[in-house]
Chain A
Amino acid sequence: MLVIAMITAIAPVYWMLTISLKREVDQFANPPRWLFFPPTLEHYYDAFVARSFVQYLLTSALVAIASTGCALIIGTLAAYSLARFELPWRLDRKLSLWILSTRMFPAIVTAVPLFLMMRDLGLLDTRLSLIVVYTGFNLPFVIWMMRGFFAEVPRDLEEAAMVDGDSRLGALWRVVLPLVAPGLAATAVFCLIVSWNEFLFALVLTQTDEAMTLPVGIAGRVTQYEIKWGVMSAAGVVAIIPILAFAIAVQRHLVRGLSLGAVKG
Chain B
Amino acid sequence: MVAPALAVLLSLSIYPLIYSVQISLQTDSPAGPVWGLANFKRLSMDSFFWSAMAHTLIYAVAALLVEFFLGLGLALLLNSNIRGRRFFRATLLIPMMLPTVVVGVVWRLMFNPNFGTINGVLRQLGVITEQLTWTASPRLALAAVIAVDVWQWTPFVFLVLLAGLQAIPQEPYEAARVDGSSSWQTFRHVTLPLLKPAILIVLLLRTMDLLRVFDQIFILTEGGPGFATETVSLYIYRAAFRFTDFGYAAAMSFVLLIITNLISTIYIRLLQSRESVA
Contact = CB atoms under 8 A, between A and B. Distances in A.
B156 interface: yes
Contacts of A123: none
Contact of A30 (B92, B120, B160, B240): B120
Q: What band does the interface of chain B fall in when counting residues whose beta carbon is under 8 Å from A?
A: 35 or more
Nearest to B16: A113
Contact of A215 (B8, B99, B159, B163): B99
Contacts, number: 253
Given A136-B9, A254-B159, A258-B96, A108 B236 contact: yes
A243 B98 contact: yes
Contacts of A28: 114-115
A258 B101 contact: no
A205 B104 CA distance: 21
Contacts of B102: 16, 215, 218, 236, 239-240
B125 to A, nearest CB: 12
A139 B8 contact: yes
Contacts of B82: 2
A257 to B, nearest CB: 11
Interface SS of B by simple majority: helix
Interface residues of A, number: 88
B109 interface: yes
Interface in B27-48: none
Nearest to B253: A109
B93 A11 contact: no
B20 to A, nearest CB: 4
Contacts of A233: 105, 109
A99 interface: yes
A248 B241 contact: no
Interface string A236-265: 100110011011100100110011101111
Given A81-B1, A116-B23, A219-B101, A139 B9 contact: yes
B117 A77 contact: no
A12 B110 contact: yes
Given A12-B107, A113-B250, A2 B88 contact: yes
Contacts of A41: none
Interface string A162-205: 00000000000000000000000000000001001101100110
A97 to B, nearest CB: 8
Interface string B218-234: 11001000000000110
B201 A74 contact: no
Given A77-B4, A115-B240, A265 B99 contact: no
Residue from the set B23, B99, B156, B256 with the largest chain A CB neighbour count within 10 Å: B99
Contacts of A254: 93, 159
A106 B256 contact: yes
A78 B12 contact: no
A76 to B, nearest CB: 9
Contacts of B260: 104-106
Contacts of B212: 106-108
Given A12-B151, A112-B250, A243-B99, A117 B105 contact: no
Given A81-B2, A259-B201, A30 B253 contact: no
B236 A78 contact: no
Contact of A15 (B17, B109, B236, B253): B109
B100 interface: yes
A262 B203 CA distance: 12
A31 B115 CA distance: 8
B202 interface: yes
B90 interface: yes
Nearest to A232: B105
B256 A113 contact: no
A165 to B, nearest CB: 20
Contact of A236 (B15, B105, B167): B105
A8 interface: yes
Given A112-B253, A117-B16, A200-B215, A13 B124 contact: no
Interface in B182-237: 197-198, 201-202, 205, 208, 211-212, 214-215, 218-219, 222, 232-233, 236-237
Closest 4 CB pairs of A and B: A136-B12, A106-B212, A78-B5, A265-B163
30 contacts: A1-B74, A9-B95, A10-B94, A11-B117, A12-B106, A15-B117, A16-B109, A30-B120, A32-B120, A74-B4, A81-B1, A106-B212, A108-B212, A108-B232, A108-B237, A109-B20, A112-B249, A113-B19, A113-B250, A136-B11, A136-B13, A215-B99, A218-B105, A219-B104, A219-B218, A222-B104, A227-B108, A258-B96, A259-B205, A263-B201
Given A11-B117, A113-B250, 4 more contacts: A31-B120, A81-B1, A232-B105, A255-B160
